[in-house]
Amino acid sequence: MTFSRPNTPSPRASTLLLVLAAIMLMSLSIMGLVNLLSRGLDESLLAEKEFRARLLLDSARTIAAHPAILRGDPLLRQQVSSATSYEISLTTEGSRLAINQLASSPQQRRFAQRLFEIWGLDSLQAQTLTESLADWIDPDDLPLPSGAERDLYLSLEHPDYPFNRPFDTLDDVPLVRGTQEMERLQPDWRNYFTLYGDGTIDIHTAPSPLLEALFNVTPSEVSRLIRTRNGPDGIPDNEDDILFKTLAEARAVLDVPEGNYRRSASLLTLAHPIRRTDCLVRAGSLERRLFLLVGPGLNLIREE
């Protein structure tokens, strides 16, 4: 009688399997350790960048607040190292439309309506938006001819609108009837509005569309003023910019009809009382911003 021997693994094969299993476990452990160290390194690098950005923001804020620093000073833009830099923009709230003035000033409403038309809204859309903004701010429930008060918002299933008070944040503006088309045509509309100030427009800092709307003229009719204030190199916000000593000097380089100028002259100023500072710092791939508004009774700081 012949007996067959069972087919069992040899001791050498079993040992090899154990070694392979041990290698796999060690590999997984090492991979986990590498991932952990990598995360720790990333967090350490991010913390270092945050620290550098914080120092740069503090430095930029100190520089911007110095009374000897004027728009165009080279110190406002510096490459500190190969990986760090800062940029400071000095302007005023006179380069923006004072949205909270729309309820009380027909002149400001005409100004706003022309600006909206420059952005591409037709005359009816621009009037509707302007008067709806005014109705949102004023304390009564009587709508302007193309405005919107509580009855209209009730029909749109917004019983809590309008707030009937001045805007305290631009985040509320999109709640107003008629703003959807403005957002589509002018995505950066926030850069043209201010919640502060007296509604005057700074002749030194106002952008072309604002001046066009103010004087009800074309871009070519304000282009000579902008070229003049930018100085010989034609670049804004540097050392050779021209500062007008009087409004008469500015008027001399404004190619607008006299009647248009007279109707808008009361809204012009050479230096708006609210100073605006925007600081942008970079530390490697990290960017941080600091925004300041300083003026009579106002000291606002916001970091982004």
Give the tens place of pLDDT for each residue, 113-170: 999 999 999 999 999 999 999 999 999 999 999 999 999 999 999 999 999 999 999 9
pLDDT higher than threshold 60 for residue 4: no
Q: Is 133 exposed, middle or buried (0-12, 13-18, 19+ CB in 10 A)?
A: buried
What's the pLDDT at 31?
67
The overall average pLDDT reported for the chain is: 89
Q: What are phi and psi of 108, to 5 degrees?
A: -65, -35
Give the tens place of pLDDT for each residue, 169-214: 999 999 999 999 999 999 999 999 999 988 999 999 999 999 999 9
pTM over 0.85: no
Token pair recorded at residue 271 = 């230096």
What's the pLDDT at 2?
52
Q: How many residues does the chain have?
A: 304
Is the Cα dihedral 129, 135, 138, 142 positive or negative? positive
Q: What are phi and psi of 255, to 5 degrees?
A: -90, 60
Token pair recorded at residue 233 = 């190199």
Give the tens place of pLDDT for each residue, 241-253: 999 999 999 999 9
What's the pLDDT at 38?
57
In sequence order, what DSSP letters do the residues of the chain get, joined into one string? ---PPP----HHHHHHHHHHHHHHHHHHHHHHHHHHHHHHHHHHHHHHHHHHHHHHHHHHHHHHH-TT--TT-GGGEEE-SSSEEEEEEEEEGGGSEEGGGTTT-HHHHHHHHHHHHHTT--HHHHHHHHHHHHHHHSSSS---TT---HHHHHHTT-TT----S--S-GGGGGGSTTHHHHHHH-TTGGGGEESSS-S-EETTT--HHHHHHHHT--THHHHHHHHHHTTTTT-SSSTT----SSHHHHHHT--S-HHHHHHHGGGEESS-SSEEEEEEEEETTEEEEEEEEEETTEEEEEE-
Count how many Cα atoms sit within 13 Å of the Cα of residue 15 in the half-sphere of its side chain: 3
What's the pLDDT at 206?
96
Q: How many CB atoms lie within 10 A of CB 59?
A: 16
Give the tens place of pLDDT for each residue, 104-121: 999 999 999 999 999 999
- Is the distance from CB of 53 to CB of 286 less than 8 angstroms? yes
Q: What are phi and psi of 204, to 5 degrees?
A: -90, -20
Closest CA to 298 of 120, 93, 100, 110: 93
Q: Mean of the pLDDT values across residues 13-33?
A: 67
**More confidently predicted of 82 and 9:** 82
Beta strand 97-98 pairing with 275-283: unpaired
